[in-house]
Structure 1
Amino acid sequence: MNDENILTSQRIRVRITKDYHQEPVISRLVSEYGLTVNIKAAFLGQDAISDGWFDLDLQGNENQIENGLNYLQELKLEVWDEKRIGTW
């Protein structure tokens, strides 16, 4: 069986800095990287002064998830996976 056909999921927490409040960061994970994104929890203030965060469940094949995580790293956003965070 081809690895591209095996779906997996990964739970992450990502900090969205105020510089990216107006950018479609999560939307791009879907449209450009083919991921299914389920928002489990979030905090993003309307004031756009402080950073926000999202707890996300990413679903896709391993390559899609890896590429999506690389995209977040390229933006220099802080990303934690469930191994580093523990139980949410």
Structure 2
Amino acid sequence: MTSLKPFSSPHAVSSPDDRQNAQTRIRLRIPKRYQQEPIISNLITQHGLTINIRAALLGANAREDGWFDLELHGPSIQIESALMYLNDLDLEIWHDNNEDGW
């Protein structure tokens, strides 16, 4: 299993053609202060991505932060935009560049 790396650059996904469909997998911590915000829904509606929730960990009655293992599918430029959106919210994001070793 490869090690996870915190997301640190909006250019984590690169492609010779930004319109080319791509896939990336991230792990994301959403603090409880955002529990009323449709963050994952916004990835779909505002960034045009298909999201597959591979796993999630939520506390009882939403008293804890939420942890999500997400696959993001869509054009590379849209994935990059979505990652910048999550970064702008100051969420903890872990990104693995080696998709096969996740």
Deviation, 1:62, is 1.0
Question: Which of 29, 34, 38 is the equivalent residue of 2:52?
Answer: 38
Hey, what does 1:24 align to over in structure 2?
A: 38
Hey, what does 1:58 align to over in structure 2?
A: 72
Count of residues paired in the alignment = 86
Q: Distance in 1 between matches of 2:37 and 2:61?
A: 15
Q: Distance in 2 between matches of 1:48 and 1:30?
A: 22
More helix by share: 1
Any idea what the Cα deviations from partners look like across 1:17-76, whole Å, max 9, x if unmatched? 001111100000000000100000001123332111100000011100000000001110
Amino acid paired to 2:60: Q
Q: Distance in 1 between matches of 2:18 and 2:80?
A: 12
Gaps of 5+ in 2: 1-15
Amino acid paired to 1:78: E
Gaps of 5+ in 1: none
Percent same amino acid among aligned pairs? 51
User: Tell me, what secondary structure is at the counterpart of 2:61?
Assistant: coil
TM-score using structure 2 length: 0.75
Computed over aligned residues only, the root mean square deviation of the Cα atoms, in angstroms, reads 2.1
Amino acid paired to 2:25: R
Alignment of 1:73-88 (within 5 A): 73-83=87-97, 88=102
